[in-house]
A and B are shown apart, each in its own frame.
Chain A
Amino acid sequence: MKYIRWKALIPLLIFSLLLTIFFLFFLDTFLKKSIISAGESIFGAKVEISYLNIKLKHSSIEIKGLQIADKSDPWKNLFEIDRIKFDFRFIPILSKKFIIEDMTVEGIKWSTKRDTYGGLPPRKLKRLEKKRQKEDRDSFTTKLMLTIKQKAEQEIKELPIVQNIKSYEEQLRKINIEKLLSEFELESKKTIIQMQQSYTEKYQSYIDKIQKLDIDQQVSTAKELLDELSSVKIEKYDDIKTIQTKVAIINEKKKSIEETLDSINRLKSDFDKDFVELKDINSKINSALDSDYKNILSKLQLPEFKKENISKTLFGQMWIDRVNTAINYIHLARKYFQMRKEKDKKTIRPRMRGVDVVFHKKEVLPNLWIKKMFVSGTTGGKGKDNEEALLLSGLVTGITSDQLVTGEPTIVKLSGKKLQQNYVLEAIFDRTKEVPVDTIKINVENLVTKNLILSNNEWIPKIDRCNMSVNSTFALIGEELDCNMIIWFNNINFAKLDQTDTSDELKKLLYEIFSSMEKLYINAKLYGRKDSLSFEINSNIDDLVINKMKTIFGRTLQEYKERIKSELEKNIMEHREKFFKEYTQKKDEFLGIYNEKKNTLEQVKAEIEQKVKQVNLEINRVTDTLKKKAEEEIKKRLFR
């Protein structure tokens, strides 16, 4: 048996030659397809290249019109690049090592509008997603992104501010003051009833005390004594003795009447202390009424506008999205610029089928190394404001698959300036230390921003134009996340409401709230380790919204409060009037009785005094007469 098929050698050589010619001829297409395939696998969205040219003679590649669609918004590009040009070293390619000294990347633009849909077919997307999931299964950044998503779900309440307003209006509508009052045990009513009982008892006690004084009996006894005194005729000496005895008795009576008068006056003074002026009684009832009012308000549980959570609700998702975007870039950096320790001789990378083991050797070129990449671009682009757009330029150094070999981290510096506007992007992906350090810093000053959507919420109006300044840092040091962003919006002009929106009262209300803002400040933080992430958002929007809402809802709230007050008044009005009537009546009755009794006593006392005076005069007159008679009798007897 012949072991070699010699006849096949020549056709094989011809075939191989043809294959090589074919391969070289279509190398551009193959490479284009490979880049598109790799890009789609990384970004999960359509990747397009309008022109690719390889010059093997010069070992150079030129790519034009690279567009990478945004997976989350397929009608936009994640970024697009007008031109990429680089020379590569040929010899290392034979060892599957891609070494580029200088690369030029021109016309970088992001979030630009696309003419065609940038999503991948569902089946392809599913396949890529499956592959990505398998490769990223044990990746820390994937787990971190998942944790952040869960954290956001916990922290950002489902109800946005609108729901709070709706619930507020709903709560206000549900309030039935009449029903509430009928169910509520009014302290003021209770106080009136208690006062009514107490004053009735007190009144009765004063009446009893007056009756116990037995004034009528005393008066009638005094009158009888007076009558007796009047009936006595003083003619003889013996009559004087009799009448003097009676005067002494009546004087005793007068004393007793004076004591009764003192007692009745003391009762009056006590009564005056107990039965105070009506205004004092009224103030007591009013204070009970006040307490009722407060209790009812507390029972009503009128929704309060708490400032906490407004910023989180409004900007939480935006912040989480930004953090996730940054972490997604960091995730790609960690996936493709893998960390290894100096002593590690091999590292393992999960793949769709099995794992790739990368073997490291000192002083051997890494699999990928782009030493310098000159970058230029713009903040404008299709579908963006190109009048105010900034031209950006910068340098990326040390893009490599093994930083321990190259000894330098990957550093991105991109900046742009136009009048007052300033843009600086700095990123460091460092694998040269013990722990991987990934930092992305973006500083923007006075960036004129148009058509800005603050929050993906139909209720928050779009910003037509504003000046925006951003100071943000997204850092992942080892497994410790530290993200911080401060945004200032100045000279904000909110977009006007659509015709359809103006019919919506709630949208009008929210528009009124937001359109009054001229400045806005947001400070968002997300930090800590994966299992203990802290999420904070502070903004002046909290106070602005609360104050505005308080003003808007204040009127309605005041109306409700006044209605509650008037209903309360109405509710106790009858009891209060009845009580006041009874109180005044009792006071008048007592005073009437007192005055009557007092007058009677004083009258009797005066009568007694007058009578006693009369009697004493009569006694003196009779005594004088009897004395004269006696003297005349003696004279007669002596001079007879």
Chain B
Amino acid sequence: MIPLKVVKSIVQFLHSNISPIEIALGFGFGVIAGLLPTGTLLSFFLLICVIILNVNFSAFLLSTGLFKLIAYIIDPVAHRIGYFLLVKLDFMENIWTSLYNMPFIPFTRFYNTVVLGSFVIGILLFIPTVVVVQKFIVFYRKNLAYKVEQLKIVKLIKLSSWYDWYNKLKS
């Protein structure tokens, strides 16, 4: 039932009145969180950012889950990028050394090639993701929302008790 829930949540925030930028930012943060290996201080900071900042949490969770799956595929790429940044770039050495010996920073595990590589990929993907997702939501709501609402599957979703409960909360 997980795919149905995913579809439900997508449909829900696409058809809601939530600001497209909130959803896009949530999705963008989710990209970074999804790509980062779990259990690092970076993931924790990211979670706090998502709670404090006015971004959509459902979109964050959705993209985190989605990019967790992708993360395993792009691990080798992340490792290469991290290796290049940590080992090959000599001029960065002093910065890394300082960070390595600073309080708290080592708990981010930035010195791991996969962690740093994934973080960099996440950061690089953040703005394009936010822009693309925001534009897509605007376009969707303007051109596709009505058509999608007429789909039987969407009607079915709307009939579900969870949707009712969600609507109540929203109102």
User: Number of contacting residues on A, CB 8 A?
Assistant: 25
Q: What is the CB-to-nearest-CB distance from B38 to chain A, in angstroms, rounded to a whole number?
A: 11
- Decide if B165 is an interface residue (CB 8 Å cutoff): no
| CB atoms of B104 and A94 under 8 A apart | yes
Smallest Cβ-Cβ distance to B108: which chain A residue: A96
Given A348-B87, A359-B93, A354 and B115 contact (CB-CB distance below 8 Å): yes
- Decide if B163 is an interface residue (CB 8 Å cutoff): no
| CB atoms of B87 and A357 under 8 A apart | yes
| CB atoms of A351 and B101 under 8 A apart | no
Smallest Cβ-Cβ distance to B114: which chain A residue: A354
| CB atoms of A353 and B114 under 8 A apart | yes
Bin the interface of chain B by size. Answer: 20 to 34
| CB atoms of B114 and A1 under 8 A apart | no
Given A354-B117, A356-B111, A360-B97, A12 and B22 contact (CB-CB distance below 8 Å): no
| CB atoms of A8 and B51 under 8 A apart | yes
Given A353-B37, A354-B75, A4 and B52 contact (CB-CB distance below 8 Å): yes
What is the CA–CA distance of A348 and B112 in the complex, to the nearest angstrom?
Answer: 10
Given A12-B52, A94-B103, A353-B112, A359 and B78 contact (CB-CB distance below 8 Å): no
What is the CA–CA distance of A354 and B87 in the complex, to the nearest angstrom?
Answer: 13
| CB atoms of A355 and B113 under 8 A apart | yes
| CB atoms of B83 and A355 under 8 A apart | yes
Partner of B54, one of A3, A353, A361: A3
B130-167 interface (Cβ within 8 A of A): none
- Decide if A346 is an interface residue (CB 8 Å cutoff): yes
| CB atoms of A5 and B53 under 8 A apart | yes
Q: Which of B52, B75, B79, B87 has the most CB of A within 10 A?
A: B52
- Decide if B102 is an interface residue (CB 8 Å cutoff): yes
B43-83 interface (Cβ within 8 A of A): 48, 51-54, 75, 78-79, 82-83
| CB atoms of A359 and B104 under 8 A apart | no
Q: Which of A351, A353, A364 has the most CB of B within 10 A?
A: A353
A348-386 interface (Cβ within 8 A of B): 348, 351, 353-361, 364
| CB atoms of A359 and B101 under 8 A apart | yes
Residues of B with C-beta under 8 A to A96: 106-107
Q: What is the CB-to-nearest-CB distance from B39 to chain A, in angstroms, rounded to a whole number?
A: 11
Residues of A with C-beta under 8 A to B109: 356
Residues of B with C-beta under 8 A to A9: 52
What is the CA–CA distance of A346 and B111 in the complex, to the nearest angstrom?
Answer: 11
- Decide if A2 is an interface residue (CB 8 Å cutoff): yes
Given A1-B54, A346-B87, A356 and B97 contact (CB-CB distance below 8 Å): no
- Decide if B19 is an interface residue (CB 8 Å cutoff): yes
What is the CA–CA distance of A357 and B83 in the complex, to the nearest angstrom?
Answer: 9
| CB atoms of A359 and B21 under 8 A apart | no
Q: What is the CB-to-nearest-CB distance from B79 to chain A, in angstroms, rounded to a whole number?
A: 4
B6-33 interface (Cβ within 8 A of A): 19, 21-22
Residues of A with C-beta under 8 A to B103: 94-95
Q: What is the CB-to-nearest-CB distance from A350 to chain B, in angstroms, rounded to a whole number?
A: 10
Smallest Cβ-Cβ distance to B97: which chain A residue: A359
Residues of A with C-beta under 8 A to B106: 95-96
Residues of A with C-beta under 8 A to B54: 1-5
What is the CA–CA distance of A3 and B79 in the complex, to the nearest angstrom?
Answer: 34
Q: What is the CB-to-nearest-CB distance from A625 to chain B, in angstroms, rounded to a whole number?
A: 157
Residues of B with C-beta under 8 A to A354: 75, 78-79, 82-83, 112-115, 117
- Decide if A345 is an interface residue (CB 8 Å cutoff): yes
Residues of B with C-beta under 8 A to A361: 97, 100-101
Partner of B52, one of A8, A94, A351, A356: A8
Residues of B with C-beta under 8 A to A357: 86-87, 96, 111-113
What is the CA–CA distance of A346 and B86 in the complex, to the nearest angstrom?
Answer: 9
Q: What is the CB-to-nearest-CB distance from A264 to chain B, in angstroms, rounded to a whole number?
A: 115
Residues of A with C-beta under 8 A to B104: 94-95
Smallest Cβ-Cβ distance to A19: which chain B residue: B44
Residues of A with C-beta under 8 A to B86: 346, 357
Q: What is the CB-to-nearest-CB distance from A337 to chain B, in angstroms, rounded to a whole number?
A: 19
Residues of A with C-beta under 8 A to B53: 3-5
| CB atoms of B112 and A355 under 8 A apart | yes
A310-347 interface (Cβ within 8 A of B): 345-346
What is the CA–CA distance of A355 and B76 in the complex, to the nearest angstrom?
Answer: 11
| CB atoms of B102 and A95 under 8 A apart | yes
Partner of B22, one of A1, A348, A353, A358: A1
Smallest Cβ-Cβ distance to A2: which chain B residue: B54
Residues of A with C-beta under 8 A to B75: 353-354
Residues of A with C-beta under 8 A to B93: 345-346, 359
What is the CA–CA distance of A358 and B75 in the complex, to the nearest angstrom?
Answer: 20
What is the CA–CA distance of A1 and B101 in the complex, to the nearest angstrom?
Answer: 39
| CB atoms of B112 and A1 under 8 A apart | no
| CB atoms of B48 and A12 under 8 A apart | yes
Q: What is the CB-to-nearest-CB distance from B76 to chain A, in angstroms, rounded to a whole number?
A: 9
Residues of A with C-beta under 8 A to B52: 4-5, 8-9, 12
Residues of B with C-beta under 8 A to A360: 97
Q: What is the CB-to-nearest-CB distance from A12 to chain B, in angstroms, rounded to a whole number?
A: 5
Residues of B with C-beta under 8 A to A95: 101-106
Residues of A with C-beta under 8 A to B48: 12
What is the CA–CA distance of A354 and B75 in the complex, to the nearest angstrom?
Answer: 8
Residues of B with C-beta under 8 A to A4: 52-54
Residues of A with C-beta under 8 A to B112: 351, 353-357
Q: What is the CB-to-nearest-CB distance from A98 to chain B, in angstroms, rounded to a whole number?
A: 12
Q: What is the CB-to-nearest-CB distance from B26 to chain A, in angstroms, rounded to a whole number?
A: 12
Q: Which of A1, A4, A9, A355 has the most CB of B within 10 A?
A: A355
Smallest Cβ-Cβ distance to A351: which chain B residue: B112
Residues of B with C-beta under 8 A to A345: 93, 97
Q: Which of B21, B54, B78 has the most CB of A within 10 A?
A: B54
| CB atoms of A5 and B102 under 8 A apart | no
What is the CA–CA distance of A358 and B112 in the complex, to the nearest angstrom?
Answer: 9
| CB atoms of A359 and B102 under 8 A apart | no
Q: What is the CB-to-nearest-CB distance from B55 to chain A, in angstroms, rounded to a whole number?
A: 8
What is the CA–CA distance of A314 and B143 in the complex, to the nearest angstrom?
Answer: 84
| CB atoms of A5 and B100 under 8 A apart | no
Residues of A with C-beta under 8 A to B79: 353-355
- What 3 A-B pairs are tightest by C-beta distance, nearest first? A354-B114, A354-B113, A96-B106
Q: List 21 A-B contacts (CB under 8 A).
A: A1-B21, A1-B22, A8-B52, A12-B48, A12-B51, A95-B103, A95-B104, A95-B105, A96-B106, A345-B97, A346-B96, A346-B97, A354-B83, A354-B114, A356-B109, A357-B96, A357-B111, A359-B96, A359-B111, A361-B101, A364-B101
12 more CB-based (< 8 A) A-B contacts, given A346-B96, A355-B79, A356-B111? A12-B51, A94-B103, A96-B106, A96-B107, A353-B37, A354-B75, A354-B113, A356-B112, A358-B100, A358-B111, A359-B100, A359-B101
